[in-house]
Amino acid sequence: MAPTMALTDTAIKNAKPKDKPYKMGDAGGLFLLVQPSGGKLWRLKYRVDGKEKKLEHNPI
């Protein structure tokens, strides 16, 4: 697996909304979800007992 470069503060601030929500991957299942409204949410995708879960942090 290729190394993942962490998102920078500049990249996050410069993320522009699009017609549909999109993800900006960070590392280890962590990603920033950019909403069409311009809102940004941190989410973490992980597994417990083989079941996929998502943890969401308050909007930034």
Domain CATH number, residue 16: 3.30.160.390
Note the pLDDT tens digit of each residue in 3-58. 567 899 999 999 999 999 999 999 889 999 999 999 999 999 999 999 999 888 87
- 4 within some domain: no
Name residue 33's amino acid: L
Tally of domains within the chain: 1
Q: Tokens 């900006």 correspond to what residue?
A: 24
What pTM, to 2 d.p., does this model score? Answer: 0.79
Q: What is the pLDDT of residue 1?
A: 47
- 31 within some domain: yes
- 29 within some domain: yes
- 22 within some domain: yes
Strand ranges across the sheet with 51-56 = 22-25, 30-34, 40-48, 51-56
CA distance 37 to 20: 9
Q: The domain containing residue 45 runs over which residues?
A: 9-56
- 42 within some domain: yes
User: For residues 27 and 47, is the Cβ–Cβ distance under 8 A?
Assistant: no
- 3 within some domain: no
2 band by pLDDT with thresholds 50, 70 and 90: low
